Amino acid sequence: MKKAYVHGYDHRENIRLQDQASTLVELLHSDTKYPAGSRVLEAGCGVGAQTITLAKNSPGALITSIDISETSLVEARRKTAEAGLTNVYFEQADIFNLPYVEDSFDHIFVCFVLEHLSRPVEALNTLKDYLKEGGTITVIEGDHGSAYFYPKSEDAHKAIQCLVELQRRACGNAMIGRELYPLLNQAGFKSVRVSPRMVYVDSSKPQLVDGFTKKTFTAMIEGVRESAIKSGIIEQSVFDQGIQDLYRTAEADGVFCYTFFKAIGNK
Ligand SMILES: C[S@@+](CC[C@H](N)C(=O)[O-])C[C@H]1O[C@@H](n2cnc3c(N)ncnc32)[C@H](O)[C@@H]1O
């Protein structure tokens, strides 16, 4: 599973995930608060970019955050300790082989993980086994097909498509956001509800221009430059022009839109 993953574990990717998390906290987390005493499993916590918010927003909940990458967990532990949070327990574990008793969590939270998995329904199904009857799962994913912007640029769309294609070759799905409703239903969750969370950025919102358009989205596409060119799916000049055009949308008259999808289902 781990190898089917386009984004690296490198320092730059960690910073990008952190920028993304702080920019999107309100949009993605404002309606996620778990009651005191509840046991929450965060599956695929990475470097802890969402963990901090989860733990802060639900100070009485007991959060178990797992990831397959020990390197990421080291960083997640460090950040959580630095934030003075004591309600998170980190453990290295594979979603497909969890070391817990079934029916033991009240809630499960999964963010930006399914897009990297070749078997997302199986992952959801497995997670469901660890959820108590009536418990909830919350899943957040992006969808790179939802990016549109001004000024328009074919090259920018081609550069974005490189990430989609590379993720597909790594058995992931960069356009999984739109599929959350069918995926959760296929995995047997009940009362599935999905809410699109649109990020709209123009220059009247300088924090989003910097934190989202530049440091989150464009940085993510830029991150696949070498693999895209090396794999021959795009010419270097087209890719570089596409990136330049994405940065162009961050200028005074530019506009950038992207939609995340947040799904909640019950066991
Ligand atoms: C893009 S990161 C997202 C991290 C975090 N949820 C966030 O939103 O910042 C995806 C994470 O899923 C983890 N992952 C992938 N496959 C996994 C598996 N089978 N079991 C546990 N974690 C996995 C990766 O190691 C990576 O840290």
Distance CA 5, CA 16 (A): 16
Place of tokens 């009247």: 204
Predicted confidence (pLDDT) at residue 114 exceeds the cutoff of 70: yes
Distance CA 258, CA 254 (A): 14
Instruction: Render pLDDT for 144-186 as a digit per residue (tens, 0 to 9).
Output: 999 999 999 999 999 999 999 999 999 999 999 999 999 999 9
Place of tokens 């992952």: 123
Segment 13-21 mean pLDDT: 63
Which of 14, 15, 68 most suits a substitution to test ligand 1, by most atoms within 8 Å of the C-beta? 68
Predicted confidence (pLDDT) at residue 8 exceeds the cutoff of 50: no
Distance CA 77, CA 74 (A): 5
Predicted confidence (pLDDT) at residue 1 exceeds the cutoff of 50: no
Place of tokens 């998995």: 117
Size of the chain, expressed as the number of residues it contains: 267
257 burial level (CB within 10 Å; 0-12, 13-18, 19+): middle
Mean of per-residue pLDDT scores for the chain: 94
Distance between Cα 128 and ligand 1 center (Å) = 17
Segment 187-198 mean pLDDT: 98
Q: Are 35 and 60 in contact, with CB atoms under 8 Å apart? A: yes
Q: Is the CB of 176 under 6 A from ligand 1?
A: no
Predicted confidence (pLDDT) at residue 9 exceeds the cutoff of 70: no
Where residue 26 falls among pLDDT bands split at 50, 70, 90? confident
Q: Is the CB of 122 under 6 A from ligand 1?
A: no
What Cα–Cα distance (Å) separates residue 44 from each residue in 27, 112, 209, 245, 255?
20, 8, 27, 32, 32
Nearest CA to ligand 1 atom 9: 49
Helix, strand, or coil (residue 52): helix
Helix (H) or strand (E) holding 105: strand 105-111
Angle value at C-alpha 166, between 228 and 96, nearest 5 degrees: 145
